[in-house]
């Protein structure tokens, strides 16, 4: 297991270095950051002074080395617009993003597994058709459209839920439904396919022939063995939820990293944009690493096959 963990850590580190390098390249390819920090009547001498202050006048190789060193220390620079450390801004927002992502993951698990199991156990029936129709709608609807629809119905017409802001559980319901609904559709379709495949195995028929209760056959045997691909998709979905929260946070004015990134892009605050990108990539890789480790622990065949991969 230690060798498997070491390989995954090395791959994750290489991927993270690639993300940091791409962010650095895109930052310098998007224009001159120094020109954004001065007023329209600033002279060339003012721009040169800004370059010296921020170290933008040094060779790219030197800037890249310093950039890597700062990121390794957790120093993501200072916001051009707010003058605060980027790390501090992200720490203030990341909790709200994790909150909506975890709630969305719960929606995806509960709704996705329920629809998928019901569709698999009632294959070809009206329950199967209804569940897969709901899954198709969940996959097809754009997040912004679904969010606006929920706001109109539950926020404006019925006045059951607040339309925006950050607060109690009532503020979390609609963002979690919008973000988790899309992934619940994916989980339900995968659960149906995986469970149908397991239910056709000989040991399932043997268990039924021995007189085991249907609930025991499905929950303890079939669903447990069908859960491996579902576990992988859920782990990847959680990482994607952290990145996909940008649209949801913008619609519902949720004070998370996604909204911070949108504000930074509109204000051309490059350090904040690159900081959010790096932290988001690090969280995504950490989630993927955790899923790989859990998957390798659940299925020992992956650990033995890893050196040949």
pLDDT in tens, 233-263: 887 788 777 766 777 888 888 888 888 888 8
Question: Measured between alpha carbons, how far is 7 from 13 in angstroms, rounded to an integer?
Answer: 10
For residue 127, is pLDDT > 60? yes
Spatial contact of 195 and 123, defined as CB atoms under 8 Å apart: no
For the chain, the average pLDDT equals 80
**Stretch 122-144: mean pLDDT, rounded?**
85
For residue 306, is pLDDT > 50? no
Which tokens go with 211? Answer: 């007189």
The pLDDT score that the predictor gives to residue 30 is: 66
Whole-model pTM: value is 0.77
Spatial contact of 183 and 108, defined as CB atoms under 8 Å apart: yes
Report the Cα 209 to chain-centroid distance in Å.
Answer: 43
The pLDDT score that the predictor gives to residue 258 is: 82
Query: Domains in the chain, ordered, with CATH?
Result: 94-308 (1.10.3720.10)
For residue 1, is pLDDT > 60? no
Q: Which of the 8 DSSP states describes residue 141?
A: S
55 or 307: whose pLDDT is higher?
55
pLDDT in tens, 32-72: 666 666 666 667 777 777 777 767 777 778 888 888 888 88
């Amino acid at each position: 297991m230690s060798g498997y963990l070491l390989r995954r850590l090395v791959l994750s580190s290489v991927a993270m270095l690639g993300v940091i390098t791409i962010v650095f390249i895109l930052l310098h390819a998007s224009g001159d950051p120094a020109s954004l920090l001065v007023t329209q009547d600033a002279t060339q001498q003012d721009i040169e002074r800004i370059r010296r202050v921020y170290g933008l006048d040094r060779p790219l190789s030197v800037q890249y080395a310093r950039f890597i060193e700062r990121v390794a220390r957790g120093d993501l620079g200072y916001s051009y617009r707010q003058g605060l450390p980027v790390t501090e801004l992200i720490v203030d927002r990341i909790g709200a993003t994790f909150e909506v992502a975890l709630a969305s993951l719960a929606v995806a698990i509960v709704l996705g597994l329920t629809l998928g199991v019901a569709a698999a156990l009632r294959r070809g029936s009206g329950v199967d058709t209804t569940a897969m129709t709901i899954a198709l709608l969940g996959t097809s609807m754009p997040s912004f459209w679904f969010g606006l629809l929920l706001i109109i119905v539950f926020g404006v017409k019925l006045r059951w839920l607040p339309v925006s802001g950050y607060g109690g559980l009532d503020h979390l319901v609609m963002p979690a439904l919008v973000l988790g609904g899309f992934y619940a559709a994916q989980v339900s379709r995968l659960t149906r396919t995986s469970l149908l495949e397991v239910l056709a195995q000989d040991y399932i028929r043997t268990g039924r022939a021995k007189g085991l209760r249907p609930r025991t056959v499905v929950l303890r045997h079939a669903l447990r063995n069908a859960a491996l691909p579902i576990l992988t998709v859920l782990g990847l979905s959680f990482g994607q939820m952290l990145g996909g929260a940008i649209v949801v946070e913008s619609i519902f004015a949720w004070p998370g990293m996604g909204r911070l990134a949108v504000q930074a892009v509109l204000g051309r605050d490059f350090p904040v944009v690159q900081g959010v990108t790096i932290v988001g990539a690090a969280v995504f890789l950490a989630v993927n690493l955790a899923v790989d480790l859990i998957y390798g622990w659940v299925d020992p065949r992956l650990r033995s096959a890893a050196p040949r991969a």
